[in-house]
Amino acid sequence: MNKPIMAKATAVWLVDNTTLSFKQIGDFCDLHELEVQGIADGDVAIGVKGFDPVANNQLTTDEIARCEKDPVAKLKLKHNPAAEGEQKRRGPRYTPLSKRQDRPASILWLVKFHPELTDAQISKLIGTTKPTIQSIRERTHWNIQNIQPIDPVALGLCKQTELDAVVQKAAAKKAADGEVMTDDERRKLVSTEQSLGMDADPKVPSSISGLETFSLSGNEDDGDDDPRNEETPDADSFFNLPDSDDEEDADR
């Protein structure tokens, strides 16, 4: 525990109740000197109630008096035995309640487009559990028929830089293990900045030269058999109507 709790409120109290310099208060509360000056001017932390560090066992009056006499001295946080061994607990990422129903869709997207990621990496990236990931991998999830893969970045479950970092890490591990990567996997490892700067691949040929000299049968066309060169037949030929002389002979 290197910094006081409620640092800004503590800075408000120190500004109002001591003659410590702005730098001394800023160093102790992990604030910029100008931010502490803003607190003194009333431009910063408006409405914040001061938090007494002496009453809350974070500073002593002797320590404050020592630093008031020496502007170069730095405040030392009072030792708290109860804080020993307290470190930041590592665990899955916290996901707000409003976005928790989106996690299966993002898991399906990661499993589909980044199969090199392990369950532990996916769990840490979007804050889910391994049984949930396993059920989606094996398609045994209770709602698997209605889940559509959606990018977790688009859902706000992680940042693009975090996704790129974990994919790069998985690729490095795969390369270290001697596994061969496919072209699709290499394409996915391109960073966001590089992919945005790439030229789009043409989906259809810009020109098809040479095909006009070949007929549908695959043989070279000399132009004589082109149906467009044939004369348009007379309309009467389609009905095979007899001439008027032929009709008179038939009546006789």
Q: Nearest-5° angle of CA 113, CA 115, CA 116?
A: 125
Average pLDDT over residues 163-168: 90
* Beta bridge partner(s), residue 214: 220
- By C-alpha distance, which of 109, 131, 135, 136 is closest to 120? 131
pLDDT bracket for residue 107 (50, 70, 90): very high
**Percent of residues, the chain, with pLDDT higher than 70:** 62
pLDDT bracket for residue 95 (50, 70, 90): low
What ranges in the chain are assigned the alpha helix state H? 7-17, 22-29, 33-41, 61-69, 103-113, 119-126, 130-137, 152-155, 160-176, 183-188, 192-197, 236-239, 244-251
Contacts of 135 (CB under 8 A, 6+ apart): 141, 144
pLDDT number for residue 183: 55
pLDDT exceeds 90 at position 223: no
pLDDT exceeds 50 at position 207: no
CB distance 111 to 137 below 8 Å: yes
Q: What is the chain's mean pLDDT, rounded?
A: 75
Residues listed for the chain: 252
Return phi, psi of residue 91, to 5°. Answer: -165, -175
pLDDT bracket for residue 170 (50, 70, 90): confident
CB distance 121 to 111 below 8 Å: no
Classified as helix, coil or strand, 214 is strand
* Beta bridge partner(s), residue 220: 214
What pTM did the predictor assign?
A: 0.40
